[in-house]
């Protein structure tokens, strides 16, 4: 059990701060370093999960974004999002269908933020895209990979606020590769097409055309394997 205290106005200090409290034997106590508090017992070997370096106020938090792409038996496939604005999910799925020529017309897609967090951070876009693609191809992402970046309607990955804070925190926690928009120190991920090619190159070659009908429980019906991104592909 946890509670969040956000400082919106502070006459005697900085605002936009975030405190995380958890229930202990003696009552609520402050979580001194909540950077990985919301990850819980995360299993990186599962498909459909991505690690995002989010920012709430000025505090960087590593959170897990989960997605499930499964065959739909409904006339209108279901789209559900928990912990973030579901309209963001609709926009990103439209971008993936247009820019990557994927067919989501016969699948239900569910997505959520792990740990009960609620985020309005546009920097979670890239991680959400990675989680959806991971579940679609049924391939796990690199175990220590971390994502952040905003995805626009052209499929380009744009910089987000507090980029240096996210990068420094990801380095401190030992995550690699870091997949984020380009900066002065790294080429970054320019587009969602580049992200797909780096992470799922083998799956794309072995899977049938995305425009054809789907079969089985795995929408992509791809061959077994793992993500293609190595530690140095996009890392800084």
Work out the number of other CB atoms within 10 angstroms of the CB of residue 114. 18
Provide the sign of the torsion angle of the four alpha carbons 195, 148, 110, 33, taken in this order.
positive
Tens digits of per-residue pLDDT, 183-198? 877 789 999 999 999 9
- Runs of H (alpha helix) within the chain: 86-100, 125-137, 163-172, 192-206
Tens digits of per-residue pLDDT, 3-13? 555 555 666 66
Tens digits of per-residue pLDDT, 113-159? 987 778 889 999 999 999 999 999 999 999 889 999 999 999 999 99
Place of tokens 């995305």: 210
Distance of CA 26 to the CA centre of its chain: 35
Given a cut of 60, is residue 111 above it in pLDDT? yes
DSSP state of 140: P
Q: What confidence category does residue 169 fall into, taking pLDDT thresholds of 50, 70 and 90? A: confident
| Plot region of 179 (φ>0 → left; ψ -120 to 50 → alpha; else → beta) | beta
Work out the number of other CB atoms within 10 angstroms of the CB of residue 209. 8
Read off the pLDDT of each residue in 219-225 and give the average, rounded to a whole number. Answer: 41
Highest mean pLDDT among 26-40, 47-61, 207-221: 47-61
Q: Are 21 and 3 in contact (CB under 8 A)?
A: yes
């Amino acid at each position: 059990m946890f509670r969040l205290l956000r400082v919106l106005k502070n006459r005697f200090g900085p605002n936009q701060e975030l405190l995380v409290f958890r229930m202990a034997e003696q009552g609520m106590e402050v979580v001194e370093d909540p950077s990985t508090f919301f990850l819980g017992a995360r299993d990186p070997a599962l498909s459909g999960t991505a690690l995002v370096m989010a920012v709430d106020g000025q505090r960087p938090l590593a959170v897990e974004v989960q997605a499930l792409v499964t065959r739909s038996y409904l006339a209108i496939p279901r789209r559900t999002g928990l912990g973030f604005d579901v309209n963001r999910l609709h926009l990103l799925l439209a971008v993936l269908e247009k820019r990557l020529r994927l067919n989501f017309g016969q699948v239900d897609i569910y997505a959520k933020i792990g740990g009960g967090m609620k985020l309005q951070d546009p920097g979670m876009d890239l991680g959400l895209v990675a989680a959806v693609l991971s579940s679609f191809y049924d391939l796990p992402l690199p175990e220590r990979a971390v994502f952040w970046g905003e995805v626009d309607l052209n499929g380009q990955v744009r910089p987000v606020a507090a980029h240096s804070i996210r990068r420094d925190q990801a380095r401190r926690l030992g995550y690699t590769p870091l997949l984020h928009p380009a900066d002065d120190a790294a080429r970054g991920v320019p587009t969602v097409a580049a992200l797909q090619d780096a992470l799922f190159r083998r799956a794309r070659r072995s899977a049938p055309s995305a425009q054809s009908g789907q079969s089985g429980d795995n929408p992509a019906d791809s061959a077994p394997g793992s993500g293609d991104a190595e530690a140095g592909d996009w890392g800084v």
